[in-house]
Structure formats: C-alpha cells, structure tokens
Amino acid sequence: MVDSYIPPRRGSIDDPLRIAVLISGGGSGLLALLNYQLTNPSCHIVELVISDSDASKGLHYATEFDIPSFAIELPDIQDKHQQRIFHEDMVQEKLIESKIELVVMSGYMRILTPIFVKKWKGRLVNIHPSLLPKYPGAHAHRDALKDGAEITGCTVHLVDEGVDTGEILAQSEVPVFATDTIEILQERVKKAEHLLYPKTLDYYCSK
Ligand code: GRF
C-alpha cells in the first residue's frame, strides 16, 4: 500500500519550520534560499545542510551563513541496496539530531529509497528542472532540447516513491530558444527555480 502525505506543522515568522537542505553540487539553489530567508520574513529557516559529496561547492555557502553542514558520502559497502540504506541511515541520524521538520532537496542527485520516503512523506520536497510530468529523470534539459520544446520550466513537488512523480506544488515556465545549449538552458531555468522554490516553501510551510 502506498502511504499518504503527512504535512509538516504550520510554520510562522515567529516559529519557522526547521529545514534541512540536501545538495550534491553547485548549491546555487541553496544560496538563493539562504538569501531569500535573509531578506524576507519567512516561516522556514535552514538549520542543516547535507551534501552527498565532499567536493560540493554548496557546502561553502552553508559555512558562509554559519549553518551546520555535513558531507555524507556513500559508505564503502559492496551490496548496492545495503549501501543506500546505510547512507540514508546516516542522513536520517543528522536530521533527527537537528530536529528537522522539512527536508528540501535542492539539486540532490540521489534517488531516495521508499524506506526513507515513508519516514518523510509530506515533509520531503524537491525541485525538478522541467514542467513535470514532462522530462523526468536526470537529463531534463537534454530531453527538452531533443524534443524541440519551445517552453520548459521547473516544478516544485512533494517526493513520493517514484522518480519525479509526487504531487506538484508549483511550476514556472521558461522559454527555450533555438540557439540554446544544455548549459544555457540550465542557467535560464535555474533563475526561475531560485524565485519559485523559496516562495513555494513559504506557501507550503504556512498553509
Ligand atoms: C537544479 O537545476 C535542480 O533543479 C537540478 O539540479 C540543479 C542544481 O543546481 N536537480 P544547484 O546545485 O542548486 O546549483
């Protein structure tokens, strides 16, 4: 049986929801969220940053903003399933330690197991760089360009047991131009992501 979403408590400016941001790479989405929280009274606050890579540039943003951060890399275990479970257990331990109430995936390039999703379902949010259900998976921009799409965009959604299939919270459209490369399109979509994600979190955390 598939579990239903259990939403977080309602956050407020006086008592914001404690957020953990999961990242893998550049962390531009994390930086946008941190800057948003700095300049807008919001009902969420980043209390923890976790990356699955030691080399993630985003970890430096956490340090700059004085936010506890950890690189939790995949453990050295042969069995792939066991490896994922152990890795997620380490992440879970940090989330619990930091009393996290909402987990925000921002460029986190791992697919979470149903075991982890079940623990956080309704309190686990992701941003995907396409207008879902179009172009799910790890190559959204390549797929949009291949398809000759004239419009693409980004989607904030709750995470369920599938890949980019959870309930959609908000979307923003971005034009695609004939001269676009994957990199150019990615940068344009990221700009839209940086506006959409913090606002959508505000909406979701306060509803
Ligand atoms: C974003 O476009 C996000 O939607 C995708 O990966 C990118 C991460 O960028 N899943 P950054 O690490 O936040 O710069």
pLDDT band at 3 (very low <50, low <70, confident <90, very high): confident
Which ligand 1 atom sits closest to the C-alpha of 127?
4
28 lines ligand 1 (CB under 6 A): yes
Q: What is the mean pLDDT of residues 29-39?
A: 97
- CATH number of the domain bearing residue 200: 3.40.50.170
Span 192-198, average pLDDT: 98
Is pLDDT at 111 greater than 80 in this prediction?
yes
Is residue 27 in contact with ligand 1, taking CB distance under 6 Å?
A: yes
Q: For residue 87, give its domain range.
A: 17-206
Give, in order, the Cα–Cα distances in Å from 9 to each of 13, 17, 122, 126, 205.
13, 8, 11, 18, 8
207 pLDDT band, cuts 50/70/90, is confident
Structural domain total, the chain: 1
> Percentage of residues in the chain with pLDDT exceeding 90?
98
Is pLDDT above 90 for 119? yes
Which amino acid is present at 156? V
- Tell me, yes or no, whether 8 lies in a domain: no
Question: Does a structural domain hold residue 34?
Answer: yes
Residue 7 lies in a domain: no
| pLDDT > 70? residue 48 | yes
139 belongs to the catalytic site: no
3-class SS of residue 91: helix
Among 177, 138, 131, 180, CA closest to 156: 131
The verdict on the CB of residue 127 being under 6 Å from ligand 1 is: yes
The pTM (predicted TM-score) of the whole model is 0.96
Mean pLDDT for 91-101 is 98
Burial class (CB within 10 angstroms; exposed 0-12, middle 13-18, buried 19+) of 91? buried
Q: What is the pLDDT of residues 130-154, one digit of tens each?
A: 999 999 999 999 999 999 999 999 9
Q: Specify the residue with its C-alpha closest to ligand 1, atom 1.
A: 107
Q: Mention every residue, 6+ apart, whose C-beta is less than 8 A from residue 30.
A: 21, 23, 46, 49, 58, 61, 62, 106, 107
Q: Is the pLDDT of residue 115 over 80?
A: yes
Establish if 139 belongs to a structural domain: yes
Mean pLDDT of the chain: 96
Read off the pLDDT band of 1 (50, 70, 90).
Answer: low
Cβ 29 under 6 angstroms from ligand 1: yes
Q: Position 139: which residue type?
A: H
The span from the CA of 30 to the CA of 197, in Å, is: 10
Q: How far apart are CA 46 and CA 65, in angstroms?
A: 10
**What is the mean predicted confidence (pLDDT) over 25-36?**
97
Is residue 60 situated within a structural domain? yes
In a domain, 148, yes or no: yes
State what percent of residues in the chain have pLDDT above 70: 100
